[in-house]
Amino acid sequence: MDSEDLKKIFSNNLNHWMKIRDKTQNDIINDLGYISSKVSNWCTGKAYPRMDAVQKLADYLQIYKTDLIEETKLNNHNRIPIFSKIPAGIPIELIEDVIDYEELDPKMFTGDKEYFGVRVSGDSMYPEYRDKDILIVLKTEDCESGQDCIVMINGNDGTFKRVKKTEEGIILQPLNPNYEIKFYSNKEIEELPIKIIGVVKEIRRTI
């Protein structure tokens, strides 16, 4: 790989992570003390920084140094976005809300399965799920009764609950007894509507 390729890879990665962390070139200039022409050249692929600068940028963006210099970090099909909140609609449409990425076992993607991640906020599903846990979610529009799901209400309000199906409708049950159980009739499911957008398949927790 020649130097031009390395510059392009670094530029793509830097711009990608700046967007995710909501940082601009001016932020880097003001916060890290680099001159504007240098930062501009990094962002446009005209120059490649020294390794100490790469590390400084990685620390600033709260990522690994390899996230800036390795091409595979952005092209790895086994990596999924982690959202800071329950995504409304198709998750990829809220790319600005991505806070990180997680790598999955390639075997999980057999049969054209798609996944996204959500960081838990709050304790409604405690003790099985804790605040700041990362949920690995399989995209699906249906679930089995008793599964833990990401559910959309009114097309906008996302919630994470255990779904129980009955002949009369659907129950959204928090695991924490301090929270209220919600029941929606079959009519409400159609009219509100209530939609399953994903089933939780894995929890990733930082101890």
What pLDDT score was predicted for residue 14?
Answer: 93
What pLDDT score was predicted for residue 90?
Answer: 43
Q: Matching CATH topology for 3-75 and 79-204?
A: no
Residue 67: left (phi > 0), alpha (psi -120 to 50), or beta? Answer: alpha
Tell me which of 94 and 207 has the higher pLDDT.
207
3-75, which class in CATH?
mainly alpha
79-204, which class in CATH?
mainly beta
Token pair 């940028």: residue: 57
Q: Pull the structure tokens for residue 38.
A: 């240098």
pTM: 0.63
Contact of 124 with 136, CB cutoff 8 Å: no
Q: What stretches of 76-194 show up as alpha helix (H) in DSSP?
A: 186-191
Tell me which of 178 and 102 has the higher pLDDT.
178
Mean pLDDT of the residues in the chain: 87
| Domain ranges within the chain, ordered by starting residue | 3-75, 79-204
C-alpha closest to that of 63 among 19, 26, 115: 19
The string of pLDDT tens digits covering residues 109-167 is: 888 888 999 999 899 999 999 998 999 999 999 999 999 999 998 877 789 999 999 99
What pLDDT score was predicted for residue 207?
Answer: 63
Q: Cα–Cα distance between 69 and 17 in angstroms, integer?
A: 12
Choice among 46-50, 66-70, 93-97, 99-103 with the minimum mean pLDDT? 93-97
The string of pLDDT tens digits covering residues 58-95 is: 999 988 898 899 875 444 557 788 888 775 544 444 44
C-alpha closest to that of 24 among 12, 41, 39: 39
Q: Which amino acid would we find at residue 77?
A: H
